[in-house]
Amino acid sequence: MTKLDVPLVHGQLRTVRAVSLGSFGFVLVIVGFLAPVSRDHRSAVGPCQPGTNGHLSPSRDLYCLTLVPVPEMEFVAGAVELGRIPSVFTTNVTVDGQHRYEAVLHLKGLPPVETLGDFTTYVAWVTTPNFVPLINLGSVSNGENRLGAIELNKFHVLVSAEVRGGGAEREGRLVLRGASASTRMRPPDLMEFLYGASGSAIDSGMSGMDHAGWPRPLSPAGVTMMSALMELKPPNADPFLLDEPDPPTGKPSEVVRLADGDTLVLEAGVVSRTIGGKTFQMYGFNGQYPGPLIWANQGTTVNVKLVNSIDMPTSVHWHGIRIENRFDGVPGLTQDPVLPGDSFDYRISFPDAGLYWYHPHHREDIQQDLGLYGNMFVQSDREDYFSPANREEFLILDDIAITEEGLLPFGDQQATHALMGRFGNQFLVNGEPEYSLSVRHEEVVRFFLTNVSNTRTFNLSFGGAAIKVVGTDVGNFETEEWAQSVVIAPAERYIVHVMFPRAGTFLLENRVQGIDHRSGGFLPFVDTVGVVAVQSENADPNFSSSFETLRSDSSVTNDIGHYRRYFDDPPGRELILTLETDGLPFVVGRFMQFDSTFFNPVEWAGTMPMMNWASTPDQVRWILRDPSTGRENMEIGWQFERGDVVKIRLSNERETLHAMQHPIHFHGQRFLVVDVNGVRNTNMAWKDTMLLPVGSTADILLDITNPGNWMVHCHIAEHLETGMMTAFTVN
């Protein structure tokens, strides 16, 4: 076998082997990398391919599975690209929360199959680590092979020579095999177990801590933590909870319809809330939890006077609205914080129809989590904006963290939960723990969904009822699209139509796959967030026929059409999303290194409650980095001109101590998600927030129309508190 270096993709050198196959001559085999032959809906950069012209590319570790040949077949090379299946969501999962990938197998060096014995074809298989079930993915050959969807948490891919292609069992000769990155997860070894089981593993400055005032977080069902981790508490932060004398009882949200020129007084204050039989002090706008639903027509302008009646500075950010910059509600950038007892007058214009929300932009980890949020709905000036529905329901999705003593305190001087964000253990819909709805048989319900949680990404389904995704942050999709479930990250909004086809009970469920760090496996979590009772009475009028039709919105397609000429441009800007830590307790760092063998593309559940709770911005720094300058967070300083259209590549770095998904929000503008992991989106809508899974890249097209100084940040509240934000100027 001869080794030589030859120039390959983009002028880079790759080692290849010239292998003699007797009468078949020589075959050049690329070692460690296989370039795709054609990509169809995929663009230039995929997970099995390096970046184009030095630009960032998806994580090969997570999304490119290298196949290893058996010893006597080492002249064969293969790789499986775990590509994104196009979807209206930036991550594609089953209704149970298992990630779905379009598997594309790239093969080189396979000799004619008959040279290996009495075989007629090569076959690809996918299976679990215990080899049950074994799924035949079809016959394969050298080059690119589309294998279809893989929907398994842990899996192996095999290639074998077989007598026939359609068999249910592998009977022939194994040629290649490889395992998904998730199979690297394993239970702690003896040394890790001893560290975790011993209090001596805690740094001397962290041991023997007094937990007075800090009730321990409750672990999710089925999750246990090492005893050493149970000794932790947040450093350099005292517990904070509200303690006001006799606050008023919080009221349900009311609808406030504002005409052009109207004024709304919005008072932030303390309210009393009873949830699950326990009474807590929380926040509310105008005594309501959530705050009032502001309803306005597209093209109107309204006034809102914020009155601060809480005991800390605050502001209101009008999330997603392309607003005048001085009213964007960002203390230190667009306004001074509104001090206790003071007020601030906002003027809000509504240029775009869609679903929006409002919340503070100061200590969001406390103020938003305790109830300072509300929806805004901007009614389109088009009568046919939505396809028909019998009714409309606004659902604000949230969670809060409760212990046996009451609410889990927040950090007073600084945020806790800086690593992964504050996961709650009590789900709320519109501020209530037991959402219920009664509908009629075949009634079509238009649900307006908003996720206001600090960190949790939901995978929401409707008990098997058909879901049609209609719109998102800043308006409709080009075409309505079916979905098994709705993946909605913090600050995102989705508008869906659901038809309930029979009488009975339909559960609104959050079904996800968390990671069990003790066993090195996956834990399914199923949480009921609401119940829909379907009556036997028939819906009138009956919209089942129009519901079954996927309507296209030509006005959206025409609007986006003005931007399609930019889709294939190289990125004009790039941002790396990454993490730095300093001073974490030794046991936390040790276990994080152990966990770094694999990161779930989306951290669906808080399965490391103690080590997450005990982290603060003193130890954790989440980062936005411009790779062209090396500048980070608020030092980046991008400058644009009004009218610019800029492609920005976002890259969520996998090589950190604990990589995590990030919902990235751009203030004051709108954008299109053009590609995710090199796969072109085929159905678009305007967004202001998008979820970027671990190890992924996304190309967004930012439509820069609004002058001023604007924020970009992760909308996990605790990541924002660690500094994961920057600002850009539009001249």
Over 60: is that where the pLDDT of 254 sits? Answer: yes
Last residue of a domain, one of 381, 396, 413: 381
Task: Name the band, by pLDDT with cuts 50, 70 and 90, for residue 603.
Answer: very high
Report the DSSP pairing between strands 435-441 and 521-538. parallel
Summarize pLDDT for 75-111 with one digit per residue, the tens. 999 999 999 999 999 999 999 999 999 999 999 999 9
Over 50: is that where the pLDDT of 24 sits? Answer: no
Over 90: is that where the pLDDT of 423 sits? Answer: yes
Which residue range(s) make up the domain with 58?
36-184
The reported pLDDT for the residue numbered 192 is: 57
Average pLDDT over residues 132-138: 95
Average pLDDT over residues 106-124: 96
Q: Does 146 fall in a domain?
A: yes
Least confident residue range of 320-324, 601-605, 610-614, 708-712: 610-614
Q: Does 627 fall in a domain?
A: yes
Q: Looking at the structure, do residues 157 and 271 belong to the same domain, yes or no?
A: no
Q: Looking at the structure, do residues 630 and 721 belong to the same domain, yes or no?
A: yes
Query: Which backbone phi and psi does 655 adopt, to 5 degrees?
Result: -85, 65
The reported pLDDT for the residue numbered 53 is: 62
Q: Looking at the structure, do residues 132 and 262 belong to the same domain, yes or no?
A: no
- The structure tokens listed for 121 are 């074809």
Summarize pLDDT for 623-677 with one digit per residue, the tens. 999 999 999 999 999 999 999 999 999 999 998 889 999 999 999 999 999 999 9
Q: Does 349 fall in a domain?
A: yes
Q: Does 525 fall in a domain?
A: no
The reported pLDDT for the residue numbered 611 is: 84
Which residues is 728 bridged to in the sheet?
Answer: 638, 710
The reported pLDDT for the residue numbered 47 is: 86
Q: Does 211 fall in a domain?
A: no
Average pLDDT over residues 343-348: 98
Over 70: is that where the pLDDT of 728 sits? Answer: yes
Over 90: is that where the pLDDT of 31 sits? Answer: no
Least confident residue range of 138-147, 267-276, 308-317, 605-614: 605-614
Share of the chain above pLDDT 90, in %: 78
Average pLDDT over residues 435-458: 97
* Dihedral Cα 452, 458, 464, 470, nearest 10 deg: 60
CATH of the domain at 624: 2.60.40.420
Which residues is 507 bridged to in the sheet?
Answer: 531
Q: Looking at the structure, do residues 40 and 143 belong to the same domain, yes or no?
A: yes
Q: Looking at the structure, do residues 309 and 177 belong to the same domain, yes or no?
A: no
Neighbour-count burial for 519-550, b at 16+ CB within 10 Å, e otherwise? ebbbbebebebbbbebeeeebeebbeeebeee
- The structure tokens listed for 585 are 């307790």
Look up tokens 């469920």; give the residue: 509
Task: Name the band, by pLDDT with cuts 50, 70 and 90, for residue 239.
Answer: very high
Task: Name the band, by pLDDT with cuts 50, 70 and 90, for residue 38.
Answer: very low
Over 60: is that where the pLDDT of 25 sits? Answer: no
- Mean pLDDT computed over every residue of the chain: 89
The reported pLDDT for the residue numbered 19 is: 33
| Among 214, 179, 152, residue whose Cα is nearest residue 65 | 179
The reported pLDDT for the residue numbered 216 is: 80
The reported pLDDT for the residue numbered 134 is: 95
* CB-based contact 715:691 (threshold 8 Å): no
Q: Looking at the structure, do residues 568 and 712 belong to the same domain, yes or no?
A: yes
The reported pLDDT for the residue numbered 586 is: 75
Over 80: is that where the pLDDT of 10 sits? Answer: no
* Dihedral Cα 71, 73, 74, 77, nearest 10 deg: -130
36: Cβ contacts below 8 Å, ≥ 6 apart: 42, 46, 48, 49, 81, 104, 106, 144
Q: Looking at the structure, do residues 180 and 307 belong to the same domain, yes or no?
A: no
Q: Does 469 fall in a domain?
A: no
Over 80: is that where the pLDDT of 121 sits? Answer: yes
The reported pLDDT for the residue numbered 211 is: 55
The reported pLDDT for the residue numbered 572 is: 96
Query: Which backbone phi and psi does 273 adopt, to 5 degrees?
Result: -130, 135
Over 80: is that where the pLDDT of 8 sits? Answer: no
Average pLDDT over residues 535-541: 95
CA angle 299-304-305, nearest 5°? 165
The reported pLDDT for the residue numbered 50 is: 66
Q: Looking at the structure, do residues 149 and 277 belong to the same domain, yes or no?
A: no
Q: Looking at the structure, do residues 176 and 285 belong to the same domain, yes or no?
A: no
- The structure tokens listed for 410 are 């927040």
Q: Does 373 fall in a domain?
A: yes
Q: Looking at the structure, do residues 42 and 172 belong to the same domain, yes or no?
A: yes
Over 50: is that where the pLDDT of 166 sits? Answer: yes
Over 60: is that where the pLDDT of 589 sits? Answer: yes
199: which DSSP letter? G
Average pLDDT over residues 416-443: 95
Over 60: is that where the pLDDT of 28 sits? Answer: no
Over 50: is that where the pLDDT of 568 sits? Answer: yes
Over 60: is that where the pLDDT of 190 sits? Answer: no
Last residue of a domain, one of 167, 184, 201: 184
Q: Does 488 fall in a domain?
A: no
Q: How far is Cα 368 from Cα 390, in angstroms, rounded to an integer?
A: 32
CATH of the domain at 119: 2.60.40.10
Sheet holding 26-30, edge to edge: 2-7, 13-20, 26-30
Last residue of a domain, one of 150, 184, 218: 184
Least confident residue range of 18-32, 222-236, 308-322, 690-704: 18-32
Over 60: is that where the pLDDT of 622 sits? Answer: yes
Q: How far is CA 86 from CA 42, 90, 116, 550, 710, in A?
A: 10, 8, 38, 17, 30
Amino acid 690 reads: M
Amino acid 710 reads: W
Average pLDDT over residues 399-420: 94
Average pLDDT over residues 701-724: 97
Over 70: is that where the pLDDT of 370 sits? Answer: yes
Average pLDDT over residues 574-598: 83
Amino acid 231 reads: E
Over 60: is that where the pLDDT of 35 sits? Answer: no
Neighbour-count burial for 172-197, b at 16+ CB within 10 Å, e otherwise? bbebbbbbbbbbebeebeeebeebbe
Task: Name the band, by pLDDT with cuts 50, 70 and 90, for residue 223.
Answer: confident
Counted domains in the chain: 3
247: which DSSP letter? P
Least confident residue range of 199-208, 432-441, 442-451, 548-557: 199-208
Q: Looking at the structure, do residues 631 and 721 belong to the same domain, yes or no?
A: yes
CA angle 558-563-567, nearest 5°? 125
Q: Looking at the structure, do residues 626 and 723 belong to the same domain, yes or no?
A: yes
Is 316 or 591 the better-scoring residue by pLDDT?
316
Over 50: is that where the pLDDT of 205 sits? Answer: no
Report the DSSP pairing between strands 374-379 and 410-411. unpaired
Query: Three-class SS of residue 712?
Result: strand
Task: Name the band, by pLDDT with cuts 50, 70 and 90, for residue 516.
Answer: confident
Over 90: is that where the pLDDT of 327 sits? Answer: yes
Over 90: is that where the pLDDT of 723 sits? Answer: yes
Least confident residue range of 10-19, 114-123, 486-495, 558-567: 10-19
Share of the chain above pLDDT 70, in %: 89
Task: Name the band, by pLDDT with cuts 50, 70 and 90, for residue 197.
Answer: low
Task: Name the band, by pLDDT with cuts 50, 70 and 90, for residue 210.
Answer: very low
